[in-house]
Copies of this chain bind each other. A is one copy, B any other.
Amino acid sequence: MDKYVYMFEEGKAGMKDLLGGKGANLAEMTRIGLPVPPGFTVTTEACNKYYSGWENQLSPGLTEELFTCVRNLEKITDKTFGDIQNPLLVSVRSGAVISMPGMMDTILNLGLNDRSVTGLARSTGNERFAYDSYRRFIQMFGDVVCQIEKYKFEAILDLVKEKRGAEFDTDLTAEDLKEVAKRYKELYSREMKEEFPQDPNDQLLLAVGAVFRSWDNPRARAYRNINDIPHNLGTAVNVQSMVFGNLGDTSGTGVAFTRNPATGEKALFGEFLLNAQGEDVVAGIRTPKPIESMDEVFPDVHKQFRETAVLLEKHYRDMQDIEFTVERGKLYILQTRNGKRTAAAAVKVAVDLVNEGLITKEDALMRIPPGQLDQLLHPNFDVKELEKAQLLAQGLPASPGAATGAVYFTAEEAVKAAQAGTKVILVRQETSPEDIEGMNAAEGILTSRGGMTSHAAVVARGMGKCCVAGCGAIRVEENQKRFTVKGVTVSEGESISLDGSTGRVYSGSIPTTEPQLSGSFATLMEWADEIRELEVWTNADNPKDAATAVRFGAEGIGLCRTEHMFFEEDRIPAVREMILSRTTEQREKVLEKLLPMQKEDFKGIFKAMGEMPVTIRLLDPPLHEFLPREERDIKALAEDMDMSVGEINGLIKDMEEFNPMLGHRGCRLAITFPEIARMQTRAIIEAAIEVIKETGIRVNPEIMVPLIGNVSEFKYLKDLIVETADEIIRQSGTDLHYLTGTMIEVPRAAITADEVAKEAEFFSFGTNDLTQMTMGFSRDDAGKFLDEYKNKGIIDVDPFQRLDQIGVGKLVEMAVELGKKARPDIKLGICGEHGGEPSSIDFFHRVGLDYVSCSPFRVPIARLAAAQAAIVTRGRGC
């Protein structure tokens, strides 16, 4: 027979999936003999059955098990449900596998009724306390189980207070509270058309069902969406006998961390409140005192608690967050869990625990969620200030960091304001190459359209600048110099704050804190490097980014996009002229102008990277992306090219595409305009030779062809590249080694990777495009339905953030296998956004890539994630 309820004595820490985090820890503490108030846990499995198999009912089997456990609990506590002498009271709390603080419901003091309340008065010697507990229980039960609105209870309380001339709740006497309880019960029976349940057994069944239902409440669903927690885990329910910290001056309650959760410093860190319940601490009515102050009032209990804290940290081999209550001089541990901590604390604690001999290096590395390191690398909002800030909207976390400033709606005005010394946030529907200067002048960028690979996102990441993109909730009215969101209007010059790591937009200014890389951080990274097998390269388009990435530990450039160089203000006119050239000769002439500029770019990058490999991708985006949109620019171009505005507009219109993502771009450009590829090859090879001659550094360029679908495309361009390059090398008399390879980003390239590998010396997976084409999602448009998909449980996570291992991953695997078969020494990497995402990095490790490449600020994250992947694979950690 299925078992759905476990006494704390029956469980242990390893049963977290079944008992939830809280339940498993209560069981574990019970098991190792700590003073835990006795109780039992209803499993997550029961919750899932409640939804799928039992039609939102508790099954008869579960009911029976519950009652058996209650009888058990009565025996252990020597108290009885509903007893008039010594009643058993319990708390009923949710407890999910992954903590979702405050999202689900809790009921305290269950077991109270008209009889047992007198028993409680008697056993505590405090009638006022008993009736206060009773009326609180009725309200909580009414709210959680029956959805009776809180204000109706509040109204009754206010009425009684007024009647008695009481200012505060504490002014009410036992008699007053008796009346409140009576009126509460009347409210209940009015609302529910039945009496408030007097049988504690009935109360319990109703409460368990209510906690199950709270798993599916809107705020819990929303929380899971935001935190990528699957909707099908379910919650456990913990039923535990009540202990009271508010029975006078020999009682109290507190919370403590075994180390400082902000800094990681090794010292008990917490708060304590005399004669109070846990909820009083949370409610903030009274100010708690530091944990040390316990020593004055209960030196023995304090000592016992400190020993318990050490024991728990040793037992769990991690920093603990412990809740406790002292009831009439006796210590009870109510909860322990691994303490939440800042990234800085996480790193320090992990390194310290290794040094203390508590955990291994592998354990330490496995302890840090790699994404958390982001906090250490970018400025961040002050956490305390953030809590007070008003959240305006949520967009995509397009480029991490925090920024605060006055909003401006055009690049021009942003630049002007910045020059005048104002900190600026540039707000646009979407950005275009013409906005580059404005983006550069701004502290951060906010767009209402476009995805994680939109122009704004890509350029901002390149600049290491905070960006929130695709924030669909805001409506940008550039003409009006304002944007609106949920009825709020923000006009030019008003301040907002952007958190590029979460995608959140706040109104007003929020102070930021600067990143500090502690010594522990360096130690941890060293350990990661010892263990990982994947190399970590970077995506960098300019010497500055390249240098940043090297500082963060990058071992090569996996993607240098050449198009961003084309967008620069002094080049874009030539680029446009090239695009609109009517003959090959005309185009070649303009390319001659661009050649020295590109060459200088590459020289700078080669110098920054030294002998590390530098993978340079040939021009990729559809050419119309470079064309002007503003009338002014069109006019300027017309003059430059000696054409009419009408002709230019005609040419621009001719180049428009229905689906630019699948249009004339990537290698298709190089095939229709081989002269562009020839110029770029020349720029790369000449730059490399000049750097060798100037510095003696043996640079290692790798020339990468984008958007191959067919080996014949690659072959055509490889022939062109090799012919051009080898001729230059021969003439220079230098010995330069270079590779020619391709991106794998079109599904057909993955499917036919064996053919492609016969020609290509390396593959670099472009998982952004590969995801778009394999799933048929336009990243820029998918926002319209992906949220709905998450809400309806159709997908768990955004496939552009985490690689879809089942679908897209299958193609990656196929390509790796086919590629290695055709060319055993083929070099394999990935340069899509997933290259900096931990679960994807784990996948890339498993399928046997040589390196991942990510933006400079994600390099440390990738190093750690790669180490974790290696540890998991070797079966040492986790």
Q: Contact residues of A with B, CB < 8 Å?
A: 657-664, 666, 668, 671-672, 707, 709-710, 712-713, 716, 745-748, 751-752, 769, 772-778, 780-782, 784-785, 788-789, 792-795, 804, 806-808, 810-811
Q: How many copies does the complex hold?
A: 2
| Complex: chain B residue closest to A755, CB-CB | B806
16 CB < 8 A contacts A-B: A659-B778, A660-B778, A661-B662, A668-B785, A671-B794, A672-B785, A709-B774, A709-B776, A710-B807, A713-B794, A716-B792, A747-B747, A747-B807, A747-B811, A751-B774, A769-B776
In whole angstroms, how far apart are the Cα atoms of A777 and B665 in the complex?
10
Contacts of A789 in B (CB 8 A): 671, 713
Q: Which listed residue (B659, B666, B804) contacts A748, Cβ 8 A? A: B804
CB distance from A669 to the nearest CB of B (A): 8
| Complex: chain B residue closest to A664, CB-CB | B784
CB distance from A108 to the nearest CB of B (A): 38
Contacts of A775 in B (CB 8 A): 709-710, 746-748
B778 and A657 form a contact (CB under 8 A): yes
In whole angstroms, how far apart are the Cα atoms of A776 and B769 in the complex?
9
B747 and A773 form a contact (CB under 8 A): yes
Contacts of A707 in B (CB 8 A): 776
B671 and A785 form a contact (CB under 8 A): yes
A658 and B747 form a contact (CB under 8 A): no
A710, A781, A804 pick with most chain B CB within 10 angstroms = A781
In whole angstroms, how far apart are the Cα atoms of A748 and B794 in the complex?
15
8 further interface pairs, Cβ-Cβ under 8 Å (given A710-B794, A752-B807):
A658-B780, A659-B778, A661-B778, A662-B782, A668-B785, A710-B795, A712-B794, A712-B795
Contacts of A663 in B (CB 8 A): 778, 781-782, 784
A777 and B671 form a contact (CB under 8 A): no
Contacts of A657 in B (CB 8 A): 778, 780-781, 784
A659 and B808 form a contact (CB under 8 A): no
B746 and A709 form a contact (CB under 8 A): no
Contacts of A811 in B (CB 8 A): 747, 751
A671, A716, A776, A781 pick with most chain B CB within 10 angstroms = A776
B748 and A780 form a contact (CB under 8 A): no
Contacts of A664 in B (CB 8 A): 781, 784-785
CB distance from A617 to the nearest CB of B (A): 16
B661 and A658 form a contact (CB under 8 A): yes
In whole angstroms, how far apart are the Cα atoms of A746 and B672 in the complex?
28
CB distance from A619 to the nearest CB of B (A): 14
CB distance from A624 to the nearest CB of B (A): 11
A659, A710, A751, A784 pick with most chain B CB within 10 angstroms = A659
Contacts of A748 in B (CB 8 A): 774-776, 804, 807-808
Contacts of A712 in B (CB 8 A): 793-795
In whole angstroms, how far apart are the Cα atoms of A525 and B547 in the complex?
72
User: A-B pairs with the 9 shortest C-beta distances?
Assistant: A662-B778, A659-B778, A748-B807, A663-B781, A746-B776, A658-B780, A659-B659, A657-B781, A659-B661
In whole angstroms, how far apart are the Cα atoms of A804 and B749 in the complex?
13
In whole angstroms, how far apart are the Cα atoms of A793 and B807 in the complex?
32
A792-B671, A794-B671 are known contacts. Are A658 and B710 too (CB-CB below 8 A)?
A: no
CB distance from A748 to the nearest CB of B (A): 4
| Complex: chain B residue closest to A787, CB-CB | B672
Contacts of A782 in B (CB 8 A): 662-663
Q: Which listed residue (B658, B747, B793) contacts A774, Cβ 8 A? A: B747
B773 and A776 form a contact (CB under 8 A): yes
In whole angstroms, how far apart are the Cα atoms of A433 and B118 in the complex?
77
In whole angstroms, how far apart are the Cα atoms of A326 and B654 in the complex?
59
Contacts of A793 in B (CB 8 A): 712
